[in-house]
Amino acid sequence: MRITVTVDGTTYTDEVEPRQLLVHYLRETIGKVGTVIGCDTSNCGACTVHLDGQSVKSCSVLAVQVDGSEITTVEGLARDGRLHPVQQAFHDNHALQCGFCTPGMIMQSIDLLAENPDPDENAVRHGLEGNLCRCTGYQNIVRAVRDAAHKMRPGAGPDAERVEHSPSHAVGGE
Amino acid sequence: MIPSAFDYTAPSTVDEAVRALADAGEDAKVIAGGQSLIPVLRMRLAAPTKLIDLGRIGELRGIREDGDTLVIGAMTTHHDVQRDPQVAEHALLLKVATDTVADPQVRHRGTLGGAVAHADPAGDLLAPVLALDAELVLHGLDGRRTVAARDFFVDYFTTALRPDELLVEVRVPRHTGWSAHYEKFSRVAQAWSIVAVAATVRAEGGTIAEARVALTNMSSVPVRAHAVEQALVGQPATAEAIKAAAQHAAEGTSPSTDSNADTAYRQHLARVLTSRALTAAVGA
Ligand SMILES: Cc1cc2nc3c(=O)[nH]c(=O)nc-3n(C[C@H](O)[C@H](O)[C@H](O)COP(=O)(O)OP(=O)(O)OC[C@H]3O[C@@H](n4cnc5c(N)ncnc54)[C@H](O)[C@@H]3O)c2cc1C
Ligand code: FES
Ligand code: FES
């Protein structure tokens, strides 16, 4: 089947098999390997992308289902060589160790902040409950999301990229 | 893993979908949000020859009021149910239960109709649908019929849906002003209910006028706790009265034993969680 889809601002038209998962389309057909696969059971959230502005697990969507849609992956967040404020906050707060969960964590964090621009710790943990991290113990991920929220006021979502960049402070030392 | 090969069609009306389903024969499957089906396909626990995607059928999405009934299109996502003001006002129990389903990403795709049609005994939306005396509208080649929730759930993953039928609407009688709580017991975040209790209550002054209670995962189908409901009528909305009524929660049930819990423990959970759910619902 032929699908046309806009990924990170570029429009692609491709012939796909109905059984191809969106994550395989992104990684193998168009080379967006920033989005990763961490499980076989739709549990880990590592594959999270935005589909028409909402976070989804791209391993649990068929490529044919996104015909005509717009997708944002972690590769589409930086602007003019500057990290998205949530990416920057993950860096600043040491919110990753091996980094495998990070693309999904960042995409889901942006979704969370679009719905709730000032989440408390509990709201961050709930908002990220579909994303598993085997390394960090989550503490610094929660810090990073709240840090990003403060820096991105009055809100995240599509407008976040336009927010002033703040210089990063030292990593670690928490 | 990668699913085995299938054909795919995405009709734009219910009539086309029903026709496609009939033409494709018994190895066809409907796909709604795909949040239960795609994991099953990936693990190759099912290998349908054809998928009929309901995702492009606009008429199946959305929530409207029809007299005293709230009509929820089968393809309305969990996310939209959570945020709809009409659901919060007239079917609060459905909203609070939906809040506990899965995680945000799954709730963006998964649908009320998909959850009800899938009929997983651990699914969190079956008990609320049963407690609210909802009706399910089914559409097949011969037209529409309406089935009460108590007749719809037949067995594990088995419903009254015929092979040529789609679930098109969930019709919920308005429970305006009823308080509600869904108490879910699971070991870790993002896990299925071992047992859960759906409770909704109409209080007048400090007295319980009516109550509806249904249990998740206490049988192959959701179960109404009628004895609890009857014991509550006319009682004061106090913790003691609720605790006494909740003792009836497991009456008549014989839940299965599995690696999470045995029969006796599930029955214990039903009583404890019923008490918690009702207490939270009435704010006692
Ligand atoms: C990680 C994860 C965690 C989850 N946790 C929970 C949880 O805690 N609680 C919970 O309740 N659920 C949970 N779910 C399941 C989730 O709620 C699903 O969204 C839901 O069970 C199925 O809805 P769907 O729209 O995705 O249906 P699909 O997966 O598309 O379909 C499910 C089944 O129903 C059939 N079907 C779907 N729609 C119709 C229709 N309109 N007419 C006829 N047949 C139809 C399909 O053919 C298929 O057999 C979880 C899922 C995942 C992936
Ligand atoms: S790879 Fe998608 S949820 Fe794990
Ligand atoms: S940093 Fe390794 S899984 Fe999260």
Same domain, B155 and B187: no
Q: Residues of B with CB below 8 A from A56's CB?
A: 105, 108-109
pLDDT of residue A164: 43
Q: Is B2 inside any structural domain?
A: no
Q: Does A168 touch chain B (CB under 8 A)?
A: no
How many residue pairs from chains A and B have C-beta atoms closer than 8 A?
84
Token pair for A157: 């979502």
Identify whether B1 is part of a domain: no
Residues 12-51 of B with CB under 8 A from A: 31, 34-35, 38-39, 41-43, 51
d(CA B54, CA B61): 10
CA distance B42 to chain A (A): 7
Same domain membership, residue B193 and residue B138: no
Nearest ligand for residue A36 CA: 2
Q: How confident is the model at residue A157 (pLDDT cuts 50, 70, 90)?
A: low
Q: Which two tokens stand for residue B164?
A: 């040529």
What span, in angstroms and rounded, lies between the C-alpha atoms of A104 and B242? Answer: 43
- B168 and B252 share one domain: no
Token pair belonging to B106 = 């799954």
Of all residues in chain B, the one with the smallest CA distance to A1 is B8
Which pLDDT belongs to residue B1?
A: 80
Q: B96 or B26: whose pLDDT is higher?
A: B96
Tell me which residue of B244, B239, B246 sits closest to B271, measured CA to CA. B246
Q: Are B50 and B173 in contact (CB under 8 A)?
A: no
Both structure tokens of B156: 């594990």
Any domain includes B261: yes
Evaluate: CB of A38 within 6 angstroms of ligand 2.
yes
Pocket of ligand 3 contains residue A132 by CB under 6 Å: no
Q: Is residue B212 part of a domain?
A: yes
A163 — pLDDT class (breaks 50, 70, 90): very low
pLDDT (0 to 100) of residue A159: 52
Is the Cβ atom of A39 under 6 angstroms away from ligand 3? no
Chain B nearest-CA distance from A114, in A, is: 13
Position A166 pLDDT exceeds 80: no
Ligand lying nearest the CA atom of residue B81: 1
Nearest CB neighbour to A130, from listed B4, B41, B105: B105
Written as one letter, the residue type at B237 is A
Q: Are A108 and B104 a contacting pair at CB < 8 A?
A: yes
Return the SS3 of B261.
coil
CB B193 within 8 A of CB B273: no
Q: What is the pLDDT of residue A146?
A: 98
Please state the separation of Cα B55 from the chain's center in Å: 20
Interface subset of A 33-52, CB within 8 angstroms of B? 40-43, 45, 48, 51
Q: Give the number of the atom of ligand 1 that is nearest the alpha carbon of residue B30.
A: 47
Mapping DSSP to helix (H, G, I), strand (E, B) and coil, where does residue B99 land?
coil
pLDDT tens per residue across span B230-241: 999 999 999 999
By CA distance, what is A45's nearest residue in B?
B105
Q: Could you tell me if residue B80 is inside a domain? A: yes
A104 Cα to the center of ligand 2, angstroms:
9
Domain boundary pick from B126, B141, B172: B172
Task: Tell me if B116 is assigned to some domain.
Answer: yes
pLDDT at A168: 42
E-assigned strands of chain B?
7-9, 28-31, 50-53, 63-66, 69-73, 135-140, 143-148, 153-155, 158-159, 166-173, 179-185, 195-204, 207-216, 223-224
Structure tokens at B92: 């609060």
d(C-alpha B195, C-alpha B181), whole Å: 14
Query: pLDDT band for position A158 (50/70/90)?
Result: low
- Point out the least confidently predicted range of A66-75, A82-91, B62-71, B180-189: B180-189
User: What pLDDT, on the 0 to 100 scale, is given for residue B178?
Assistant: 98
Task: Return the amino acid letter for A165.
Answer: H
Q: Domain for residue B178, yes or no?
A: no
Of the residues B137, B172, B207, the one at which a domain ends = B172
Kindly list the structural domains of chain A, giving each domain's residue range(s) and its CATH number in brackets, ordered by start.
Answer: 2-76 (3.10.20.30), 85-170 (1.10.150.120)
Q: Are B87 and B110 within one domain?
A: yes
Domain boundary, last residue among B114, B147, B172: B172
Residue B190 has pLDDT above 80, yes or no: no
Q: Is the pLDDT of residue B31 over 60?
A: yes
- Together in a domain, B45 and B110: no
- Do B90 and B22 share a structural domain? no
The number of distinct structural domains making up chain B is 3
pLDDT band at B196 (very low <50, low <70, confident <90, very high): very high
Q: Is residue B71 part of a domain?
A: yes
Give B2 Cα–ligand 2 centroid separation in angstroms: 13
User: CA nearest B189 in A: which residue?
Assistant: A129
Place of tokens 């400090």: B206
> What is the pLDDT, as a whole number, of residue B188?
80
Bridge-partner residues for A82, per DSSP?
A: A79
Strands (E), B38-115: 50-53, 63-66, 69-73
Q: Which domain holds residue B25?
A: 7-53
The mean predicted confidence, pLDDT, of chain B is 97
What CATH number is given to the structural domain containing B209? 3.30.390.50
Does A172 score more than 90 pLDDT? no
**Do B164 and B255 have their domain in common?**
no
pLDDT at residue A174 in the model: 34
Give the CATH number for residue B168. 3.30.465.10
Q: Which residues contact B225 (CB under 8 A, 6 or more apart)?
A: B197, B213, B214, B215, B248, B249, B251, B270, B274
Is A129's CB within 8 Å of B190's CB?
yes
Q: Express each pLDDT in B83-119 by its tens digit.
A: 999 999 999 999 999 999 999 999 999 999 999 999 9
Contact A65 B1 (CB under 8 A): no
Q: Are residues B100 and B151 in the same domain?
A: yes
Kindly report the average pLDDT of chain A as a whole number.
91
**Could you tell me if B134 and B190 lie in one domain?**
no
Residues A62-110 pLDDT 10s: 999 999 999 999 999 999 999 999 999 999 999 999 999 999 999 999 9
Q: Quick one: B212 and B274 in the same domain?
A: yes
Closest to B280 in 3D by CA, of B196, B216, B218, B217: B196
pLDDT digits (tens, 9 = 90+) for B247-273: 999 999 999 999 999 999 999 999 999
pLDDT score of B49 more than 80 = yes
Q: Are residues B124 and B81 in the same domain?
A: yes
Calculate Rg over the CA atoms of chain B: 19
- Give Cα separations from B186 to B102, B104, B269 (angstroms): 12, 18, 11
Q: Tell me: do B74 and B49 sit in the same domain.
A: no
Optimal mutation site among B105, B109, B186, B188, interface A, most CBs of chain A within 10 A:
B105
